Structure 1
Amino acid sequence: MSSDAPPDPLAHPLVFGQRMQVLRTRRGMSRTVLAGLLDKSPSWVKQIENGVLHTPGLPMILRIAEVLRVRDLAELTGDQAMPIDLFIGPGHAKLPAVRAAIDAFPLATDREAPSAVHLSARLESAWAARHSSPNHREVIGGLLPDLIRDAQLAVRQADRAPERRVAQAVLAEVYSLSQFFIAYQPDSALLWRVAERGMVAAQESEDPHAIGMAAWLTAQAHRDSGHAHFDAADAVTLETLRYLTPLLPDGPDDVCAIAGALQFEAGYTAARRGDTGTAWGFWDTARKMAKKLPADYYHPMTSFSRAIMGAHAVTVAVELHAGGESVRQAAKADARTIRSRPRRARHRIEEARGYQLDGQSETALATLDKAYEAAPETIRYNGYARRIILEETESKSPTHRRRAAELAVKIGVLTA
């Protein structure tokens, strides 16, 4: 092996700065970009990496871990005695059953597959259950194994091309629901397997909405993989928008909504890059598309609607690390209009990130309490919420430390 090969950040002799440099390089991120995301100078990053400056305190370590999308904090700190998964939540008890259903492809069966109409009705009920439940993974995890097996069977038993396309569209939607369950759990290979199968099924269906939905989730998977995968996220998003755009003038609401959701995803990725103009430009295009939808319309999968655009504005501002703008957008957004409990909890987490960026740590913790009330499973699996809570357990304020510790125990980051 070449002596120029980058060292393994898990190798024991590496110190913090060296680990940070290796992880930054693997993400395809320059010192200048990392410095900007941390509100530091490139020279500060260089001095940390070269060991000129001492290892920063826990709050900055957690911010570095967030920006570099470090899964296990031990990769960055080198302390293998205290592994902390930041962006992967605990494995759900129902994950093995869902995984087994996804991985199994029985070729012989003595039963008839349910009809596409029947499967679609079950899917509709499953989405409704997900949005209304505070513990949505528990609910969906119980429904998915049979849904996956039945949808796969429906595709295998479809004799004619039209029936097969309809069955593929249903299967693609089942895989989409599966991704919501699997996301942020400790099996990234399974997530990618489902994302790819969902995209293949959607393309085989030739259904614009199924294709848009699969692309929406695939783009998110790329973006969440880190800075080096942003181009792949954009490629999926923009290519799908080129495909959907000619269909929009006469398209049904769900196709227009998924196109709007993809417009926002492009803005989200631009915000992660730090491209302010592009990010807000895509957000504004998505907002205009939302205004064309009926006032009470709410997309059952992505939550895209007029009501969600305020929450999306908070996300853009937060990803651009604009604390003041995040707080201003949070003041304008009305969380009560977000029908989905997990999506409402996600919005509260984004608000908390904005408050912390603006130096309002107490308000950030109070907002995370609201996220927990809306959907405990959302905050339990969210890396940003976990980072804020862990950071505040080191606060100089006894009140902050106590409040953060109570939240940490509730979501399982710390034990009582």
Structure 2
Amino acid sequence: MTTNLTIGERVAWYRRRRGMSQEVLAGLVGRTVDWLSKAENNRIELDRLSVIKSLADALDVTLGDLLAEPTLLDWTVDSGRRTVPALRSALMNYRQLTPLLGVTTEGEPTSLDELRSSVAEVWDAYQDSRYAFATRRLPLLLADALIAAQAYQGREREKAHELMAMTYQGAAMVLTKLGEADLAWIAADRGLAAAQQSGNAVVTGSLFRSVAHCLLSTGRFDAATQLVGDAGEYLRPGLDNANPAFLSIYGTLFLAGSMAAARAEDRATTQAFLAEADQAARQLGADANHAWTAFGPTNVAIHRVATAAELGDMQVAVDLGPQIDTSSLPTERRTRHNLEVARALSAHNRMDDAMAKILEAESWAPEQVRNHYLARELVLTWVRNQKGRPSRNLADLANRLHVI
């Protein structure tokens, strides 16, 4: 499906493709025909993933089908002309599947210090919302990490597995941002296996978070909620003598869980997970970026806004969102928060204020805004609902996002 259809228009397209009437689809999702008609004609916004997922299930399509994901990664100076397909090839290298074949990857192992520096470079790019750069670097980095994990022995081998796990997680996080949910799952699964071989609880906890994000991206909200609960129980004994990195991983895991619970429309679990994260943030004491988590009180506040929006409490998001100062956080977190505030403002018919938030976010992170379904959906819906020609600012933004 092309990106110049709104979510509602895609629902209508798939409904007709299935030979299904509005009456039947509305009944399957527990809505009225009037509601569905308005959704398909852009008179109400489909901005809650729980609702979109119910429509996807009824139509027997993926959540990504209705969100128009994955998106095409633009060729840039950072990306070159080999982007996601090259990363896909690296992830589908059969030599990574099993040692039973006795196949080892050829090449001299990179020093652990050099490998650690390359992993940090990719994660820094992720937090700077430079997905093209990270996508270009990851295939070679995955190969280097695999060689190191096979070549080193003893404690050095454990360190190599830590770095391989974080490389896979970096790939999973970037691919999730690009809407490549299936590839992200492969990366997260491989990363969790490497993390377990490292014996490092912080790295293992970090990969649990990545698996939760992959479940979220495919609409498996209940499974993600359950995973976070189980992973939390596994990690909780480590809180007795937790260092800042462990606290950050633990808290961030529950922030991911709060989003899963909100999308599953489970208010009680949402609040319980936010409270668990808040306790970890209080224990940490201040915003930080241990293990690339951007965790602390501000990130908890951001998730209070995001979960309120997912639960349909847009007034809460409008009241709280603009008050949060995100200036000390990495670009990825600041941008994501701006998109949430824009969603809430748009729901209150404050299009100009919402567009200002998106434009501000675009000035920080054009790749992230271009590849996020919320930005694309909001802008396209505004264009569709304009009476007459859209303003120059709106038309230019829509062109940059490739939605018209």
> What's the TM-score once normalised by structure 2's chain length?
0.82
**Match status 1:362 vs 2:352:** yes
| 1:308 Cα offset (Å) | 1.8
SS of the equivalent of 1:147 reads helix
Please show how residues 8-407 of structure 1 align to structure 2 within 5 Å. Answer: 9=14, 12=17, 14-15=19-20, 17=22, 20=25, 31=30, 42=31, 44=32, 56-60=40-44, 62-63=46-47, 67-69=51-53, 86-91=68-73, 93-105=82-94, 107-132=103-128, 136-160=130-154, 162-185=155-178, 187-226=180-219, 229-338=220-329, 340-396=330-386, 402-407=392-397
CA-CA distance at 1:392 after TM superposition? 0.5
Greater Cα offset, 61-70 or 209-218: 61-70
- Relative distance call for 1:55 and 1:376 in structure 2 (3 A) is closer
Partner in structure 2 of residue 38 of structure 1: none
Q: Which runs of 5+ in 2 are unaligned?
A: 1-12, 75-81, 96-102
Residues 270, 307 of structure 2: 8 Å contact kept:
yes
Structure 2: distance between partners of 1:54 and 1:173? 44
Measure the CA separation in 1 of the matches of 2:315 and 2:116.
44
- Which 5+ residue runs of structure 1 have no aligned equivalent? 1-7, 32-41, 78-82
Q: Tell me, yes or no, if the aligned pair for 2:47 and 2:374 is still in contact at 8 Å.
A: no
SS of residue paired to 2:210? helix
Q: Deviations over 1:190-232 (max 9, x none)?
A: 2221121111111222211111111101111112222xx2221
Shift of 1:404: 3.2
**402 and 70 in structure 1: CA distance in 2 versus 1, 3 angstrom threshold:** farther
Say if 2:401 is the partner of 1:411: yes
Partners in 2 of 1:288 and 1:144 — Cα distance? 35
Of 342-351 and 177-186, deviating more is 177-186
For residue 3 of structure 1, what is the aligned residue in structure 2? Answer: none
The answer as to whether partners of 1:299 and 1:305 remain within 8 angstroms in 2 is no
Kept in 2, the 8 Å contact 1:9–1:19? The answer is: no
Output the CA distance in 2 between the equivalents of 1:55 and 1:292: 44
Cα distance in 1, alignment partners of residues 233 and 177 from structure 2: 30
Q: State the secondary structure of the residue aligned to 1:68.
A: helix
Distance (Å, rounded) in 2 between the aligned partners of 1:323 and 1:54? 19
Residue in 1 aligned with 2:98? Answer: none
Displacement of 1:126 after TM fit? 2.6
Aligned-partner Cα distance in 1 for 2:386–2:180: 36
Contact residue 110 and residue 144 of structure 2 kept, 8 A: yes
Structure 1 position 315, deviation (Å) = 0.6
Q: AA paired with 1:140?
A: A
How far apart in 2 are the matches of 1:111 and 1:396? 58
Shifted more, 9-18 versus 275-284: the winner is 9-18
Give, in whole Å, the separation in 1 of the partners of 2:18 and 2:127: 47
Q: CA deviation at 1:109?
A: 4.8
- Name the CA shift for 1:401/1:300 in 2 (closer, same or farther; >3 Å): farther
Aligned-partner Cα distance in 1 for 2:266–2:66: 31
Give the counterpart letter for 2:263 in structure 1: R
Distance in 1, Cα, partners of 2:126 & 2:83? 15
Over 3 Å counting, the alpha-carbon distance change for 1:48 and 1:395 in structure 2 is: closer
* Counterparts in 2 of 1:359 and 1:10: CA distance versus 1, 3 Å: closer
Query: Are the aligned partners of 1:127 and 1:301 in contact in 2 as well (CA < 8 Å)?
Result: yes
**Per the alignment, do residues 400 and 349 of structure 1 end up closer, same or farther by CA in structure 2, a change over 3 Å counting?**
farther
Alpha-carbon offset, residue 186 of structure 1:
5.9
Check conservation: 2:47, 2:343, Cα contact below 8 A.
no
User: Distance between the aligned counterparts of 2:256 and 2:48, measured in 1?
Assistant: 23
**Counterpart contact for 2:15–2:25, Cα < 8 Å:** no
* Contact 1:70/1:86, CA 8 A, preserved across alignment: no
Query: CA shift at 1:398, angstroms?
Result: 5.2
- Structure 1 residues 105 and 153, CA gap change in structure 2 (3 angstroms): farther
Query: In the superposition, relative to structure 1, how do residues 48 and 286 fare at CA in structure 2: closer, same or farther (>3 Å)?
Result: closer
Letter in 2 for 1:369: L
CA distance in structure 1 between the aligned counterparts of 2:35 and 2:347, rounded to whole angstroms: 22
What is the identity percentage for the equivalent residue pairs of Structure 1 and Structure 2?
24
